Each structure stands twice: as structure tokens, then as C-alpha cells.
């Protein structure tokens, strides 16, 4: 169904709002993927906080104009699936994980904070742990000395009790 001018303006405004808060945009070709598989992809994207949408490329170009993602406009050809996220790695991770199980999804390009990424760059970005994973690892590293100290003190107290008794 064709969009009239008002509908097109509304779509560009919606995408522009998403682009304004995004750190990463990844585009992929989705030709030949069934509706059921796309529904699974949308579900995993929603769970990861990723905005996923199929757009007309001309509308996406208009939304990217004047932003740090404007360089991505040259890559916008063919039927594309747009993935936008505030988390630097979430958009790349969702599409890359889906592409591993479905060979019809082809990662095409991406843009992270104004830097253009090719297919290899998107895969490299997807391999980086997310912010939450990094914070969990940091917390584990910070807790290790404290828990070790606590277990040593407990062992010394137990040993001291055994000597006194």
C-alpha cells in the first residue's frame, strides 16, 4: 500500500526520533525470510531493547540527513531491515545472532557513533560483550578479593576456636 505525503512525514518523524537517541544502526537484507522467522527476530529485538523496522530506503535517507548516520545513506539499496539501538552493541548482536541461524539474512552495513562499518565490522561489534555483561564482570572482579578475605578470616576464626577448645 502506497503512503501519502502525511504518512511519509509521520514515518520520517518517527525514525528521526529513534535515530536521535540511537548509538548504533545496522542494516541487513532480509529477502526470502518467512514471516514466522521475522516474528522471532522482532521478539528477540524487543527483548534486547532494539528498534527493528522495514523501511523505504528514501524515507530512511531523509531521517538520517543531518545526523552522524548520514554516511550510511550510500549503503541503502534493496530490501533492508533497519536495526537501531541505544546500546552500542545490541543492534549488531541481535542481527548477527539471527544471521547465524538463518542464512537468508545478510548483514550489509552499520554505523556506530558516526563510524561506518562493513559486514566484518558489524560482526566484530556484535562480538563485544554488552554493557550489562561488562558491569557484571566488573562486579565479580571487585567482589573476589572481599569474598576471599572473608573466607580467610572465617577459616582463621574456626582454627582459633578449635585451638581454644
- pLDDT digits over 89-114, tens only? 888 999 999 999 988 989 999 998 88
If phi > 0 it is left, if psi is from -120 to 50 it is alpha, else beta; for residue 13 that is alpha
φ, ψ of residue 82 in degrees (nearest 5): -100, 130
Residue 136: pLDDT band (50, 70, 90) is confident
Dist CA 16 CA 116 (whole Å): 19
Helices and strands: H and E segment counts in the chain: 6, 5
Dist CA 83 CA 161 (whole Å): 61
Q: What is the dihedral of CA 53, 54, 60, 64, to 10 degrees?
A: 30
- Decide: pTM greater than 0.95: no
If phi > 0 it is left, if psi is from -120 to 50 it is alpha, else beta; for residue 105 that is beta
Dist CA 104 CA 93 (whole Å): 17
Mean pLDDT for the chain overall: 86
* Pairing between β-strand 24-29 and β-strand 80-85 as defined by DSSP bridges: antiparallel
Cell of 73: 545513506
Amino acid at each position: 500500500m502506497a503512503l501519502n505525503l502525511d504518512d511519509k512525514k509521520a514515518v520520517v518523524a518517527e525514525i528521526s526520533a529513534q535515530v536521535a537517541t540511537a548509538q548504533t544502526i545496522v542494516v541487513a537484507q532480509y529477502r526470502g525470510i518467512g514471516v514466522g522467522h521475522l516474528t522471532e527476530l522482532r521478539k528477540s529485538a524487543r527483548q534486547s531493547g532494539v528498534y527493528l523496522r522495514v523501511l523505504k530506503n528514501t524515507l530512511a535517507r531523509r531521517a538520517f540527513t543531518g545526523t552522524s548516520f548520514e554516511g550510511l545513506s550510500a549503503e541503502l539499496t534493496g530490501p533492508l531491515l533497519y536495526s537501531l539501538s541505544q546500546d552500542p552493541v545490541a543492534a549488531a548482536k541481535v542481527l548477527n545472532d539471527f544471521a547465524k541461524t538463518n542464512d537468508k539474512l545478510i548483514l550489509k552495513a552499520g554505523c556506530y557513533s558516526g563510524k561506518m562499518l562493513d559486514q566484518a565490522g558489524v560482526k566484530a561489534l556484535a562480538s563485544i560483550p554488552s554493557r550489562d555483561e561488562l558491569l557484571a564482570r566488573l562486579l565479580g572482579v571487585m567482589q573476589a578479593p572481599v569474598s576471599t578475605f572473608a573466607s580467610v578470616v572465617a577459616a582463621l576464626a574456626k582454627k582459633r576456636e578449635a585451638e581454644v577448645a
